[in-house]
Amino acid sequence: MPSTLLKKAKLPVAYQCCFCQPRKRSRRNPPFRTYASGYEFRDNMNWPCRRNSSFTPSPYEIFDLEKSAAYSKRKFYELVKIYHPDRNEHNSSDGLTHIERLERYRLIVQAHEILSDPAKRKQYDISGVGWGTSRTIDRYSRGFTNAEGKRYGFGPEDDSSIFQNATWEDWERWYRRHDPPKYHYEPYLHPNAFASIVILLAVLSGVLMATRGGQFSGSIEEKAQAFTEETGRFLASRKDHFEENEIKSTGRVKHFLEKRDPSKYGLKEEEEEVYRKHFANSVLEPAPNLKGSEKGQPL
């Protein structure tokens, strides 16, 4: 009845205000968004993208997986082969920086940790825990920090103290973390110039060694030739001496014995007979008795 009377009284404004104005229902947004609004295409690196704006894809979008589908590691292995930090570091044809590649790799590992664990996947589907701003610390994302300032890659099981340094690489990383260099020293000499100097010194050393070796070999040859000539002259003089004095083989023996013992008695008692045989023409006195002199008898 009241509404009919108001319509008849032509009071639409009052009618709308009091009875027929619809109420705006406020919709509460969920605290976490489990899905992105959707990607439009996948780039040449098999990553979900949009044409107009950049966004962070969900774990399901990264692996191109339906929410109700079972998770398989095949897609994870494919993406790891593409984005692993140890692979294709110098390949810039994809247009990504090193930081962007590391960030994508971190998201791949984080999505794998969520979807491979049924409990984490269920929590993510309900409230989005473990994705977005609430990043988990793992061993696959060294060099990044979370909102609390903790570095990724140094979890509770990781000990980054000095006692874990086993190799020189560990010591270098430890020094870079705790004692970064204050000054950057430029090399005094370019590596190419240093290599050129080393090659030049090697060539000069080779030339000097070859010259010295040639001189040394020449001096040896000259000394050998001089010694040969001197020996030849000595033999020729001896030959001429024997021919001039008509000394034969017996005469040579006699000459040798005379040179050996000018007294012509022999150096030993048993040699006295040999000397008497060759020097029979000479008047030889008996050899002095040295034994008697030793006893104090006069000679």
Each residue's pLDDT tens digit, 79-95? 888 888 777 555 555 67
Average of per-residue pLDDT across 34-39: 48
The total number of residues written for the chain in this structure:
299
Per-residue pLDDT of 126-158, as tens digits, reads: 888 888 654 444 444 444 444 444 454 444 445
Distance CA 123, CA 194 (A): 62
Distance in angstroms between the alpha carbons of the first and the last residue of the chain: 188
User: What pLDDT band is residue 220 in, cutting at 50, 70 and 90?
Assistant: confident
In the structure, what pLDDT confidence band is assigned to residue 268 with cuts at 50, 70 and 90? confident
Instruction: Give the integer Cα–Cα distance in Å for 50 and 56.
Output: 10
Alpha carbon separation from 207 to 194, 199, 211, 220, 221 (Å, rounded): 20, 13, 6, 20, 21
pLDDT at 183: 62
Q: Which residue from 282, 283, 278 is spatially nearest to 253, judged by alpha carbons?
A: 278
121: nearest Cα among 61, 67, 75? 67
Query: Which pLDDT belongs to residue 202?
Result: 94
Q: What is the pLDDT of residues 49-63, one digit of tens each?
A: 776 666 678 899 888
For the CA atoms of 156, 124, 134, 154, what is the dihedral angle to 10 degrees? 20
Q: Collapsing DSSP states into helix, strand and coil, what is residue 49?
A: strand
Residue-wise pLDDT tens digits, 158-201? 556 677 778 888 888 888 777 766 665 666 788 889 999 999 99
Asked whether 111 and 62 are in contact (CB, 8 A), the reply is yes
- Flag the least confident range among 113-127, 179-193, 212-226: 179-193
Distances in Å between the Cα of 110 and the Cα atoms of 6, 61, 145, 282 are 64, 13, 14, 125
- Measure the CA–CA gap between 297 and 290, rounded to whole angstroms: 10
State the greatest distance between any 2 C-alpha atoms of the chain, in Å, as a whole number: 192
DSSP annotation of 23 reads P
pLDDT score, position 5: 44
Task: Give pTM, 2 decimals.
Answer: 0.35
